Structure 1
Amino acid sequence: MKPQNNLGAATIRLLLGAAVGVACGTAAALFLHVLTSVTAVREGHPWLLWLLPVGGACMSWIYMRWGRQAAQGNPLLFASIRGGEGDIPLRMGPMALLGTWMTHLLGGSAGREGTALQLGGSLAAWIGRLLRVPPTESRLLLLCGISGGFGAVFGTPVAGAVFAFEVAGFRVLTPLRLLSALTASFVGHVTALAWGASHTHYSIGPVPFADLGLLLRVALAAVAFGLLARLFVRLLASLRALLIRHVPQIVWRSVIGGLLVIGLTYVCGSRDYLGLSLPLLSSSFDAQAEGDAFVWKLLFTVVTLGSGYPGGEVTPLFVIGAAFGSFLAGMLSAPPALLAGVGMVSIFAGAARAPLACFALGIELFGGGGALYLLVSCVLSALLAGSSGLYHRSVPSSALRRIGQTIQRLK
């Protein structure tokens, strides 16, 4: 190919990435605005929780009736990227959008990333079909969709691009591919902001650059984060398998899950664990969290997602990690805000097997002051979380071991 053709191909890829970013940012802004509204409605009308089993059953029936391939959700996205298997229908995004709004309106404990990825992936696939993008480029376009969706919903464009490559297992990473994903993610982020979307900011406070004693305490906490991430993934997979085995109809699985969430709410005597639980996340940075807060949030989330309610795992994992880290701070004599921030990204790093994306996420959320602690904790958590992850395949264990060896040499 001639140089000018190379330049032309690169320009087309970047323009496609930007187009995907605009679509993802617009959809993400709509998603976040409505999500804020439905959360306010639920908090103002506590009786809506009693409709969770009915709402879940209705959404499950809709997926059975019209979902088709879209019902596979994120696994279909990653399968299409890794091996070009399966087409991504446009209906996947709107159905995930409506389902997640319903989950949060009625009190399910779920997150946002599942919707972000499915919105981004379905829009990217639709743009590819509209512009007749060749099959060889469609996988990259899907990666741009995941990058743009993640970056727009969480306000972390660099982490969005790294997450797409790390979790999707894209084997050949070239500068142009990375630049295309970064373009989609940054454009998506800026577009969402232009539509009025906002993101909550947290502070880990002043942190010493390289305090050996503090680093050792963070490493101890990282071991606990990795084990908790492993527990979360196994509980979620086990509950899904149990319900599928004994309750073949997905509609009834949703009914059972909704009833269990209602029961958990009255057993624990609090509604703090419904929805995103962002107040619990914020309070974990301000003071030491209660010892049972992360346990309750984990149970609510496993029941909600394990019984088939639409949503994502990431924001609940943020809450679980921050609350657990804040609680551990008292035991380890460490700053609660620091361990809350480190726990927030490290639990996700272990559960998703995505330490590099979560390290970038931590830098974007908290700044570079705690970079060493974030890196060590994310890598250790991912190493100890086991081979299974939320997205099934990500960074191979050998690659994680090489990262750990590199950190050991630096020390």
Structure 2
Amino acid sequence: MFSKKSTTNYFSILIHLLKWTLIAFPVAALVGSVVALFLWLLDVVTNFRFTHGWLLYLLPLAGLLIWWLYKTAGKNAESGNNMILDEIHQPGGGIPLRMAPLVLITTIITHLFGGSAGREGTAVQIGGSLSSLIGKRLKLSTDETKLLLMMGVAAGFGAVFGTPLTGAIFALEVVYIGRMNYKALLPCLIASFLADMICSMWHIHHTQYHIQIVESLKSSTSIFHFDLLLIGEVIIGGALFGITSLLFSEFTHTVKSYSKEWIKVPWLIPVIGGGIVILLAFLLGTNDYLGLGVSNPDPNAVSILNCFKAGGADTWSWLWKLIFTGITLGMGFKGGEVTPLFFIGAALGNTLGTLCGAPVDLMAGLGFIAVFAGATNTPIACTLMGIELFGGEYALYYAIACFTAYYFSGHTGIYTAQRVINKKGGMQDEAEIQTLGDIRSRRINNRKK
């Protein structure tokens, strides 16, 4: 039945899976526990800020403190997620252990004083830093180190959002545009699942989102909801979500580059950035666009949860959150981009649903995942996120929105270290460029000529 060669192959596969399953346990235990601590602290400081609004006026001082912490202890850790991607591409000195506590502390500071930021970047950096520590202890080879870092990314992402399937695919998809390393598929899934489970064991509860079932299935031959008119609206929405992803990425990168060019004293960058955030909040007369934006004690405030309801967002809420976040992250504060991207997408989806008469909750959910898909170039992971967060009946629409947004976001993204292996359709002239950072640099240079 089985040849000696096939038996040997099966034995090698078994050893490989057993080895990485055993390695996944300490990775998941460490990452899941630290992410649980981070989420708990984030909840504490967010609630504290809601009841102490005056903390916003200390945001410039908080920015100065963050700059000082990275100046004195950060060294090369400030490059964050891009450093992790670079290490996966070509392992060198490893991810410094100081990255994990530094990004945790500085993200908490950002949120305590009202900076508009997320949490995924912190969780991914925690995962990368702690998995790198384990790799050094185990003295792994270069290829094994790459795989271990991807496991750390999967564990951090899966634990912070409570989406283990998404975490696993995100870790594979985010490294390269147009290619995934399937050798890491099962190790990343195990690490993501275990980290999420351990995070839950610490009694951390993730936000629950709901898309109401508004119609019965129109196709008796499909398990998915199908409506031809709605598909057309989703395609248009997907294109707009992708363009919004491009706008967010370019705005954040532009704020960062011009801040360094125009403000010659480095510590002044976050101080001025904090002042701009305060000024914008004062001019708009609202604090809705500060912090995470997932929920708000004010039932009439714009938040991600309220965006799933008719009238839960203003027409330009998505743009204001984009501006607040771009300034916060582009001018030296710490955190992630993903939760603000959820807010931007859900608010834009709410607006589009209201304008075109489509179900507002469905369009908000599509915007939630599709703007994220375009900004990170991870359409498959984001489609899975829709299924994990909202249920599977609308999976067809999730895929259409995410895939369309992926194409319309172009060769841009929030992670400049992403490498382009297979270009997106119609972009022949950029095929030879290796990273999104290279593409952006060349585009800027061409404009200056």
Q: TM-score range by the shorter chain?
A: over 0.9
Q: In structure 2, do the counterparts of structure 1 residues 189 and 223 end up closer, same or farther at CA, with 3 Å as the change threshold? A: same
Q: In structure 2, do the counterparts of structure 1 residues 396 and 211 end up closer, same or farther at CA, with 3 Å as the change threshold? A: farther
Q: In structure 2, do the counterparts of structure 1 residues 6 and 202 end up closer, same or farther at CA, with 3 Å as the change threshold? A: closer
- Inter-partner Cα distance in structure 2 for 1:331 and 1:397: 38
Give 1:400 deviation, angstroms.
5.1
Structure 2: stretches of 5+ with no match in the other structure: 218-224, 296-302, 427-449
What is the percentage of aligned positions where both structures have the same residue? 40
Q: Which of 287, 299, 308 pairs up with 1:285?
A: 308
CA contact (8 A) 1:52 1:258 kept: yes
- Inter-partner Cα distance in structure 2 for 1:171 and 1:215: 25
Greater percentage in helix? 1
Structure-2 residue corresponding to 1:261: 277
Is 1:70 the counterpart of 2:77? The answer is: yes
Give 1:86 deviation, angstroms.
3.7
Q: In structure 2, do the counterparts of structure 1 residues 297 and 226 end up closer, same or farther at CA, with 3 Å as the change threshold? A: same
Is 1:349 the counterpart of 2:365? The answer is: no
CA contact (8 A) 2:177 2:420 kept: no
Structure-2 residue corresponding to 1:24: 31
> Please, what TM-score do these two structures have when normalized by structure 1?
0.94
- Inter-partner Cα distance in structure 2 for 1:162 and 1:142: 14
* SS of residue matched to 1:250: coil
- Inter-partner Cα distance in structure 1 for 2:419 and 2:258: 28
Structure-2 residue corresponding to 1:330: 354
Structure-1 residue corresponding to 2:229: 213
Structure-2 residue corresponding to 1:125: 132
Structure-2 residue corresponding to 1:409: none
What is the aligned-residue RMSD (CA, Å)?
1.8
Structure-2 residue corresponding to 1:405: none
Is 1:45 the counterpart of 2:52? The answer is: yes
Structure-2 residue corresponding to 1:143: 150
The residue type paired with residue 324 of structure 1 is: L
Q: In structure 2, do the counterparts of structure 1 residues 6 and 350 end up closer, same or farther at CA, with 3 Å as the change threshold? A: closer
The residue type paired with residue 326 of structure 2 is: V
- Inter-partner Cα distance in structure 2 for 1:211 and 1:390: 33
Task: Summarize deviations over 1:264-308 as a string: whole Å, max 9, x none.
Answer: 110110011110011210001022321021121111101100101
- Inter-partner Cα distance in structure 1 for 2:247 and 2:371: 11
The residue type paired with residue 61 of structure 2 is: V
Q: Which of 391, 404, 416 pairs up with 1:392?
A: 416
* SS of residue matched to 2:305: helix
Give 1:38 deviation, angstroms.
0.4
- Inter-partner Cα distance in structure 2 for 1:165 and 1:395: 13
Structure-1 residue corresponding to 2:160: 153
- Inter-partner Cα distance in structure 1 for 2:402 and 2:326: 22
CA contact (8 A) 2:178 2:422 kept: no
CA contact (8 A) 1:49 1:106 kept: yes
Give 1:355 deviation, angstroms.
0.7
- Inter-partner Cα distance in structure 2 for 1:350 and 1:174: 20
Alignment map for 1:1-400 (pairs within 5 Å): 2=8, 4-169=11-176, 173=180, 175-206=182-213, 208=217, 209-279=225-295, 280-288=303-311, 289-392=313-416, 394=418, 396=420, 398=422
> Please, what TM-score do these two structures have when normalized by structure 2?
0.86
Structure 1: stretches of 5+ with no match in the other structure: 403-411
Larger Rg: 2
